[in-house]
Chain A
Amino acid sequence: MVARAEDVIPQRSALWAFITRWLLTTNHKDIGTLYLWLSFTLFFTAGAMAMAMRLELFEPGLQFIEPLFYNQMLTMHGLLMVFGVVMPGFVGLANWQIPLMIGAPDMALPRLNNFSFWILPFAFGLLISSLFMDGGAPNFGWTFYAPLSTTYGPPSTDFFILGVHMMGISSVLGAINIIVTIFNLRTPSMKLMDMPLFVWTWLITAFLLIMVMPVLAGAVTMMLTDRHFGTSFFSAAGGGDPLMFQHIFWFFGHPEVYILILPGFGIASQIIPTFARKKLFGYHSMVYATAAIAGLSFVVWGHHMFATGMPLATELFFMYATMLIAVPTGVKVFNWVATMWRGSMTFETPMLFAIGFVILFTIGGFSGLMLALVPADFQYHDTMFVVAHFHYVLYPGAIFGTMAAVYYWIPKWTGHMYDERLGKIHFWMAVIAVNLTFFPMHFTGLAGMPRRIVDYSLQFADFNMVSSIGAGILGLSQVLFLYIVVKTIRGGEKATTQVWEGADGLEWTVPSPAPRHTFETPPEFPPVMNRDADERTPVSTT
């Protein structure tokens, strides 16, 4: 008995040490890793839901899932991808990279950082648990329009509301932390206009988060009181207005879609100069364009509501404001292309994903412009064309952006190079499958196939089959990504300090893998790059 007790105690304490290490950690690198794994887990969860939908849509008619279950999959897929995959993924990258890129020892508010992360598993636990409740999970789409979500929502809607509150609190706290870190912990010689673009885009994103997540919290609180406490914010019977829900929701929702893409812009702006071996073209215009996009995002929400019977003047205003966003976005695309122009380009996996991002995101931007046109929008509204549009901006934008960032920085995180051959296979699988999945949706949408419906007319059968095959390949390509990431963590070619020949920035001056604590004293800026080369061939200073 005594011997057994001795066996048990050390085992338990090792487990305990593991749990407390991750549960109580205040280290920005640990928390970044936690965020990224949460995002990755939910990516497969929400991806599996997409697979269920594409399976059902493989052929017309009902074969595999019930319409009600389809609606639940649709809603949960959207909610999880937006709030559980893209946002935590970017926050994870911010946690890892922002302190490393601005020469800070850690985030400014490390305990708050821990708290912001650990809210999330519970928030998503609540949300996913609603699938197993009586009446099923929320089934009203991720936009949860009233009165579908208030009067007609399933009982589990209340769990959804609490979940949204929790992830909102987490996002706002995370955003406050990021802003305070950027303003206070930069290495002294780094001015605001010296900051890497990833840091800049995240700074602007954090402001967007602080300004719109509370509006979302307000909207779901109104829903809650409408459902249970006798208010009628969104109920016409009590003097409220269901249409007002859409205004409040999209006042949050449109800045939200820029929250989902701006850090991706930052990532592309880090990666493209590295592999083009040139400085980023038009650094200042990049910063101002990002700020302009963020500012404009507050005055365009009405373009989601053209078909609600708005007066002509309002429609015109929202149409012009929306088309105005194309200008700063165009500036950014132009700058990325100009950065590559006559560069000594090489095409490692992060660069491939970054170029895929630029091209496919631009296609998504163009279909966005088509949707911005009021007369045309009446045809496109609520069709698969809209689905094609936002998947073209979100998949190659947010998801490819995150993947590019992972390939770019994973040597710094793990100390190992990833498998370049597998990385390239992953990219080509993903980029072909994305187009195979989402491009046909443009055609079915223009021909009138409505979105969010479990069945469709026979004439859409071929395009839907192509989409479903593409979705299957896309899903498989992400399993390959998981394998590549795990393989890189477990071993691989040793990464150098600078990792990439053209890399520039403070994060490439710390050893690979990055030690647990970095920049305990503020580093010099700008850093001296190509140290490895300098060590091999000392350059005379005369």
Chain B
Amino acid sequence: MNDTRNNQRKHVIVLSVLAVGMLGFAYALVPLYDVFCELTGINGKTSGRAVDPTTVSEVLLKPSDREVTIQFLAQVGNGMPWEFRPTEHRLKVRLGEINTTNYYARNRAAQAVTGQAVPSVTPGYAAKHLHKVECFCFTQQRLEAGEDLYMPVKFYIDDDLPAELHTLSLSYTLFKVQVPKGIPETLSSVQEASSGGTLASNQK
């Protein structure tokens, strides 16, 4: 009987540890997910870090003859009162060549707003071949009321890009940076966005 008691206690402990461990696993899935997506590049997420072109080997940076088309897209997130668009919609680039394009942003709200752009590449598996030397998405942008800004993206596409790809899209979604708020405040930011919009057009 004592044996059974001891066994029981052992089993309860092991199973409880398993349950708590699985809770930990759920949280571990979050960084694992990012690591997995970055390694395989299947989620269309580009690297969050700038590449220093001086450290990249000559071979990679040697412009090849192969040309691909890259399309630029822009969206704004919910409640973001900015005008946001690419200055060029498409660009023919040679692999290994460093190119620069600009995105335009203008704060239409009546007060300063901070924004953060989140990039995405389609098709997803092309993401790991797109390297950014400089990108406004690495930092947050703060624009005063009515202020506007041209934001550069400096990038190259490496030579390992799968041969079947001729066109890829680089898309940015611009989100408003805010401390999480309750529903009423979200509503007010929408109102502020629309009123800011009218204000801006009045100024025009």
Binding site for B on A (CB under 8 A): 108-109, 151, 155, 172, 175-176, 179-180, 183-185, 210-215, 217-219, 222, 226-230, 233, 236-239, 241, 243-244, 247-248, 251, 309-311, 314
| A239 in contact with B118 (CB, 8 Å) | yes
Q: Say which residue of A210, A241, A244 sits within 8 Å of B22 (CB atoms).
A: A210
Near A by CB (< 8 A), chain B positions 16-47 give: 16, 18-23, 25-27, 29-30, 33, 40, 42-43
Interface size class, chain B: 35 or more
Residues of B within 8 A of A (CB): 4, 7-8, 11-12, 15-16, 18-23, 25-27, 29-30, 33, 40, 42-43, 77-78, 116, 118, 124-125, 173, 175-177, 179-180, 183
Q: How far is the CB of B186 from chain A (nearest CB, A)?
A: 8
* B11 and A109 form a contact (CB under 8 A): no
- Complex: how many Å from CA A314 to CA B124? 12
| B11 near A183: Cβ-Cβ < 8 Å | yes
Please determine whether A311 and B118 come into contact, CB atoms closer than 8 angstroms.
no
Beyond A184-B11, A310-B42, list 6 extra A-B contacts (CB 8 Å).
Answer: A180-B12, A211-B18, A218-B29, A247-B33, A248-B29, A311-B40
A491 vs chain B, min Cβ distance (A) = 40
Chain B's nearest CB lies how many Å from the CB of A212? 7
Least CB distance from B184 to A in Å reads 11
Which chain A residue shows the least CB distance to B78? A151
Q: Which residue of A lies closest to B6 (CB)?
A: A184
Q: How far is the CA of A169 from the CA of B118 in the complex (A)?
A: 37
Is B8 a contact of A108 with CB atoms below 8 Å? yes
Given A108-B8, A179-B11; A237-B118 close (CB under 8 Å)? yes
For A243, what are the chain B residues with a Cβ–Cβ distance below 8 Å? 43
CB-contact partner of A210 in B15, B26, B33, under 8 A: B15
Cα separation A184 to B8 with both chains bound (whole Å): 7
Residue pair B16, A176 in contact (C-beta under 8 Å): yes
In the bound complex, residues from chain A placing their C-beta under 8 Å from that of B26 are 214-215, 217-219, 222, 248
Contact B118 A230 (CB under 8 A): no
- Return the contact of B175 from the options A175, A211, A213, A236 (Cβ within 8 A): A236
Give bound CA distance, A185 to B3, whole Å.
12
- The listed residue (A151, A183, A309, A310) touching B7 by CB distance below 8 A is A183
Q: Specify the main secondary structure of chain B where it touches its partner.
A: helix
Query: Smallest distance from the beta carbon of B45 to chain A beta carbons, Å?
Result: 8
* CB-based contact A241/B29 at 8 Å: no
Whether B124 contacts A309 by the Cβ 8 Å rule is: yes
Asked if A311 contacts B42 (CB within 8 A), the reply is yes
Say whether B30 contacts A109, CB under 8 Å: no
Chain B residues, Cβ within 8 Å of A244: 29-30, 33
Q: How far is the CA of A311 from the CA of B128 in the complex (A)?
A: 14
> CA A184 – CA B12 in complex, angstroms?
11
Are A218 and B23 neighbours in the complex by a CB distance under 8 Å?
Answer: yes
Q: Which residues of A contact B183 (CB under 8 A)?
A: 155
- Tell me which residues across on chain B come within 8 A of A309, comparing CB atoms: 124
- Would A176 and B8 count as touching, CB distance under 8 A? no
A311:B124 contact, CB within 8 angstroms: yes
Partner of A230, one of B25, B33, B77, B179: B179
Q: Which residue of chain B has its CB nearest to the CB of A155?
A: B183
List of A residues within 8 angstroms of B4 by Cβ: 184-185
Please give, as numbers and ranges, the residues of chain B lying within 8 Å of A239 by CB-CB distance: 118
Cα A155 to Cα B27 with chains together (Å): 25
Bound-state CA distance A185–B27 (Å) is 35
A-B contact pairs, 25 of them (CB 8 A): A175-B15, A176-B16, A176-B19, A180-B8, A180-B15, A183-B7, A210-B15, A210-B18, A214-B19, A214-B21, A214-B25, A214-B26, A218-B23, A218-B27, A219-B26, A222-B30, A226-B180, A227-B180, A230-B179, A233-B30, A236-B118, A244-B29, A244-B30, A248-B26, A311-B124
CB neighbours of B33 from chain A (8 A): 241, 244, 247
C-alpha gap A218/B7 in the complex (Å): 29
Residue ID in chain B nearest A309 by CB atoms: B124
Q: A215-B25, A227-B180 are in contact. Are A172 and B116 (CB under 8 A)?
A: no
Say whether, besides A108-B8, A311-B124, A237 and B29 are in contact (CB < 8 Å).
no
